[in-house]
Structure 1
Amino acid sequence: MLGSLVFLGAELLLNPFFPSLPGDCGPLPNLSRAEPPEDVRHRDSFPVGFEVTYRCLQNFSKIPSRLDTIVCFSNSLWSNLLEFCDRSCQSPPHVAFAKLSEEDEMKNFYAVGITVHYDCSPGYENSTDVLPTSTCRENSTWSEVPELCRKQSCGPPTNPEHGTVVATDHLFLARAEVVCDEG
């Protein structure tokens, strides 16, 4: 017998392994982005209840909330294990003129190809109709965040009675010096 058909719920699974002993799951399934520990990698037989935790290959990261462990079931099949590793970027870049959107700030995994959005920081205003973004690139680095948020103008300062305000600009965070009149 070269394989056996087994029904699990609505899924039809084909066990392509040669017949194995009752309660024996046979060789481990191959995953394209993860591998089992070295000490069990080449084994051909695993008893019911045996658990194997895979780890992501180099340049891949574990997707949070995805399982990385399989179990040998009493029907001699391994539990289903979805791909749980993907290429990703570290946390998005921090910039002074904008902050990561609340939605993107809550994420803890940034897969290659994902784009995050920024909101202008307090004291800054958007100079366009487009929000700043950054994209996780194929090489697991972030694209540069375009500087679309500009410092807001505070307007020219008013000279106090008996003095003069000296300022190089009137933008957010600019410093001004007050020079008192003589006398």
Structure 2
Amino acid sequence: MTVAQPSVPAALRLFGGLPGLLLLLLLCLPAVRGDCGLPPDVPNAQPALGNRTSFPEDAVVTYQCNESYVKIPGSKDSVICRQDGQWTDIEEFCNRSCNAPPRLSFAALAPPHISQNYFPVGTVIQYDCRPGYRRDPSLSRKVTCLQNLQWSTAPEFCKKRSCRNPGELLNGNINIPDGTLFGASITFSCNPGYKLYGETSSICLVSGNSVQWSDPLPECREIYCSAPPTINNGIIEGEREHYGYRQSVTYLCNKGFTMIGHNSIYCTVNGDEGEWSGPPPVCTGNQTPPAAQNPIMTNSANVHSPVSKATQSTPVSRTTKHSHETTPSKGSGAGSGTTVLLSGSWPGTQAGVQWRDRSSLQSRTPGHKRFFHFSYPGIWYYRPHVFHIDSFAWDASNHGLADIAKEELFLIS
């Protein structure tokens, strides 16, 4: 619409003919030639004058649309003061419009509408699906600016794409709380006794024109304990190279030793590291008896000395010698000797000591002369020995000495 300037006849009628026109000219005398008056009014818009009161030739005034109105794209929004003191023509350029189209999470404006900012009533725009979504052809992808300057409701015409099934995690678990659609996140965890190597989660993301998981499946590796602790005076039964979660070791004590503590421990997990459930047992031994003394060999001349000491009630040594005098077989060429059988220590004194004369026993071995034996009541630690004296030895074929030793040397407990 063009804003017209008032004509001369209309001005004459307005001011009462010629006298009125003269009055109008007098009022306009101060104006400078070519100076335009106030700019014309424009529907739904206001001129931006600032502090200006005069508008010389070529002065420009721009208009701004009123609230809830927008400038029609391509229309002129300013006027210019001409040389003849008149403003250039201007048409209505402000109109009502819907606001910017709604932003959809699953779709974006189609390219023709991306830069558009004027949406009068009846305007129709179109959307395209965003990456990670697929079009549902049964639903419209268009919205319209209604008479109330509101957009029509947009249906969810784009659906999320789905990532493939992540598969199975060996010795572990995959937690899928929200499905496998675009944007979904899954997490990974390992079974007890296993440690996770790799990413702990993965997200379904866009890949080209489709979607896929951001990270591959991790790996769950078995956690091993270090080698089991060894023990003194004992062994590990059935020891193996590796010990995994809940696998146990069993300990055995050597003969003569007693176990204190549990006989087995098992491999457990502390965080991501393996550790044993507790300390190993301890093998403790009973009081070790005194070590046997080396055998004492003596001449047959000393055989009778213990008799006189025993009959005189003198103290008896803690080391007692049991002597059996032997004579080698004729023709052996070896000298005479004495086989000595040594007992252990005796914790007593002469009280109760008995000297037994076994000389009346029939000798089972040629050359046997005499045999004496101490018998001690109470505690007696004894370890029998058979000794080889000189070049003469008693073996399995010479039963005489062995039989006598069995009869005469015994443990009194």
2:100 is the counterpart of 1:110: no
Q: 1:151 aligns with which of 149, 160, 165?
A: 160
Other-structure match for 1:174: 184
2:103 is the counterpart of 1:94: yes
Give the secondary-structure state (helix, strand or coil) at the position aligned to 2:125.
strand
Aligned partners of 2:3 and 2:40 also within 8 Å: no
Q: Residue deviations 1:105-138, cap 9 Å, x none?
A: 2223333322222111111111116552232333
Give the secondary-structure state (helix, strand or coil) at the position aligned to 2:112.
helix
Q: Residue deviations 1:147-168, cap 9 Å, x none?
A: 1111112132211333343324
Other-structure match for 1:161: 170
Other-structure match for 1:81: 90
Partner Cα distance (2:144, 2:49) in 1: 35
2:17 is the counterpart of 1:17: no
Larger radius of gyration: 2
Shift of 1:79: 1.7
Partner Cα distance (2:68, 2:171) in 1: 66
Give the secondary-structure state (helix, strand or coil) at the position aligned to 1:176.
strand
2:131 is the counterpart of 1:142: no
Aligned partners of 2:57 and 2:81 also within 8 Å: yes
Other-structure match for 1:3: none
Q: Residue deviations 1:86-123, cap 9 Å, x none?
A: 11233222121112223212223333322222111111
Other-structure match for 1:34: 45
Aligned pair count? 168
- Superposition RMSD on alpha carbons, in Å? 3.7
Shift of 1:146: 1.5
Aligned partners of 1:17 and 1:26 also within 8 Å: no
Partner Cα distance (1:177, 1:59) in 2: 50
Other-structure match for 2:407: none
If the length of structure 1 is used for normalisation, what is the TM-score? 0.68
Aligned partners of 2:107 and 2:158 also within 8 Å: yes
Q: Residue deviations 1:45-79, cap 9 Å, x none?
A: x8754544333233212235532211233356532
Give the secondary-structure state (helix, strand or coil) at the position aligned to 1:110.
coil
Give the secondary-structure state (helix, strand or coil) at the position aligned to 2:101.
coil
Change (3 A) 1:48 1:171: same
> What fraction of aligned residue pairs are identical, expressed as a percent?
35
Change (3 A) 1:54 1:14: closer
Other-structure match for 2:131: 122
Partner Cα distance (1:14, 1:133) in 2: 38
More moved, 114-123 vs 48-57: 48-57
Partner Cα distance (2:172, 2:158) in 1: 34
More moved, 66-75 vs 149-158: 66-75
Change (3 A) 1:55 1:18: same
Which ranges of structure 1 fall in alignment gaps of 5 or more residues?
Answer: 1-12, 40-45
Structure ranking higher in helix proportion: 2
Partner Cα distance (1:176, 1:48) in 2: 72
